[in-house]
Amino acid sequence: MKKLLIITTLIMTQALNVSADNEKDIKAVIKNVTVFPDRAQVNHEGSFDLTAGTSILKLGSLSPYIDPGSIQAKGFGDFTILSVNHRNNYLENLEAIPEVKTIRSQIESLQLKVEDEKAAISVLNEKEAFLVANRAILVKETTFSVEQLKTVMELYTNNMEQVRTTVLKKTRLIKDYEKQIESLQKQISEKFGKQQLPSGEISVTVSAEKPVSGKLTFSYVVNNAGWYPSYDIRVDNIAKPVTIYYKANVFQNTGVAWKDVKLSFSNATPWMSGDIPVLYPWFIDYYNPAPEPRIMIRGARSVAKGEEAPKLNETAMVAQEALDQYEEAVPVAIEKTVGETTVSFDVAAPYTIEPDGKVQTIEIQRTTTPAEYKYVTVPKLSPLAYLTANISGWAEQNLIGGEATLYFENTFVGKSFLNVNQLKDTLTVSLGNDNSILVKREKRKDFTSRRTFGSNLTETYSFLITVRNNKSAQIRITVNDQIPLSSNSGIEVEAEELSEGNYNRQTGEIKWDLEIKPQETREIILTYSVKYPKDKTIILE
């Protein structure tokens, strides 16, 4: 038994020694990265030479944010992969990578120059002290003629001037070196922060019957990376199609730079000024005021009045004649791959993405699509008319919901949100408000009344909605308004006059679809009444 134990120990020791001797660090550069909305898959590729037997191939200086369950290694050559392991090496941090080593080397070189200059200044200070001391001895113990004294003083002055000028130049040079050192240290701090990150490491154990050359590909998923979409939506005029610029905003803070890699963007897993106000059902009921408190509370806040939404500043019109002589820049080549459930955009040109968390924007798709343009206004909530583009077949463009920057007639008109989470065949995009369409809603005082009949009180409200088209072309516009809905059997709501509007009795919403000629003004009358017991209170305004 003892003999068997000794033999086993010897075999294990020999195996460990063989493994240690056959450990090999390999270089596998990042070839491409597939970026998902909240993570990224990194793909490496590297070649190597193997000796006969078992070897361990180590790929180091990786991100510490690797998901171990996502690691894959594929081999190409006459060898066998026995195992794949992952660990974070806390003895070697990411600051040992070549880029950081280069910066550290520059800092050390500058620090040596600072030491040299300080040593030279020290020698010069000694020389200055020597000159001062000898001047006193010469003047005190030696008798000079006027000419000799003049020569001695001139020699002293020239030497002192040279010493102090040299000290001044070296002091300035030291300050310049220290600024460079501070800048380089800041560069490291911005890239990697103060935290000393460990280095990710993947080890692949392989076996070969004879010396062979081979290749390995690695892929793994890292966190602290991702992308999100944004759009530029441009309309030259309502007679032309809409152009949508689809952009990917990529960022990463994985601790390792992606240098000259091919990027792929996959969709696999704001208060905005251009959005149209939405009318919600307006329910009314009896008003039951709360009892007044007997104790006064000091320091109570008053209810703040709502602030009017800021209006867009007018922007200068672009000189279209000057722009027409230039063709628009062509975006980088993109290949779109549509799968069963996902879509990916493969960028042809290589990019470098630094691990600093900064966002880099890449255009991945540009489409020109016919659209049906229509104006929408909600005068009860806003006196503005919003231009909308209704795009058919939008699902074929594989869009993701995101922020959109709106441009109409070569002018920035605001921000919106491209909402693709809808089940309609037509995608409606808000292009912001158009100041050429004037909308006004005012109460008709002569037709607004409050009357009592027996035990009931009837309140009648009437409004005049005016829409004027100051454009040089005819427009189509939808006007939205509403009347209240009763949520109590004792309350009766009656639509008195709707100017042929389309009334939805389930939501209380009324729509008018109008076609208004240039310089034409159209008027709409909205009148409704509410009857309820006179001993009750209803708030209608």
Portion of the chain with pLDDT greater than 90, in percent: 38
- Is the pLDDT at 9 greater than 70? The verdict is no
Convert the pLDDT of each residue in 39-56 to its tens digit. Answer: 999 999 999 998 899 999
Helix ranges restricted to H, 320-432: 320-323
The more confident residue out of 299 and 447 is: 447
Please compute the mean of the pLDDT values over residues 17-24 and round it to a whole number.
Answer: 61
- The residue type of 53 is G
CA dihedral 208, 211, 217, 223 (to 10 degrees): 70
Q: What is residue 344's predicted lDDT score, i.e. its pLDDT?
A: 84
* CA-derived radius of gyration, the chain: 39
Convert the pLDDT of each residue in 127-179 to its tens digit. Answer: 777 777 766 666 555 565 667 666 766 777 778 788 888 888 888 888 898 88
Confidence label for 433 from pLDDT (cuts 50, 70 and 90): confident
- Is the pLDDT at 519 greater than 90? The verdict is yes
CA-to-CA separations, 381 to 440, 497, 502, in angstroms, rounded: 11, 20, 19
Helix, strand and coil content of the chain, in percent to the nearest 5, comes to 25, 45, 35
Query: Which residues are CB-contacts of 524 (< 8 A; sequence separation ≥ 6)?
Result: 464, 465, 466, 467, 479, 499, 501, 512
Please compute the mean of the pLDDT values over residues 83-103 and round it to a whole number.
Answer: 73
- Is the pLDDT at 321 greater than 70? The verdict is no
CA 530 to chain centre: 50
Q: What is residue 222's predicted lDDT score, i.e. its pLDDT?
A: 93
Question: Positive or negative, the Cα torsion across 435, 437, 443, 444?
Answer: positive
**Distance between CA 209 and CA 80 in Å, rounded?**
9
Please compute the mean of the pLDDT values over residues 87-91 and round it to a whole number.
Answer: 77
Which range, 105-114, 183-192, 267-276, 395-404, has the best average confidence (pLDDT)? Answer: 105-114
Structural domain spans, the chain:
98-192, 439-533
Helix, coil or strand: residue 305: coil
- Is the pLDDT at 76 greater than 90? The verdict is yes
Token code pair at residue 77: 């050559």
Confidence label for 460 from pLDDT (cuts 50, 70 and 90): very high
CB 337 within 8 A of CB 343: yes
Query: Which residues are CB-contacts of 107 (< 8 A; sequence separation ≥ 6)?
Result: 181, 184, 185
- The average confidence (pLDDT) of the chain is 80
- The residue type of 429 is V
**Distance between CA 364 and CA 397 in Å, rounded?**
12
Q: What is residue 141's predicted lDDT score, i.e. its pLDDT?
A: 55
Query: Which residues are CB-contacts of 181 (< 8 A; sequence separation ≥ 6)?
Result: 107, 110, 111, 114
- Is the pLDDT at 206 greater than 80? The verdict is yes
Q: What is residue 314's predicted lDDT score, i.e. its pLDDT?
A: 40
Which range, 58-62, 97-101, 384-388, 437-441, has the best average confidence (pLDDT)? Answer: 437-441
The more confident residue out of 368 and 329 is: 368
**Distance between CA 89 and CA 25 in Å, rounded?**
14
**Distance between CA 274 and CA 521 in Å, rounded?**
25
CB 110 within 8 A of CB 182: no
Phi, psi angles (nearest 5°) of residue 150: -65, -40
Convert the pLDDT of each residue in 387-418 to its tens digit. Answer: 888 887 776 777 788 888 988 888 888 888 87
Helix, coil or strand: residue 378: coil
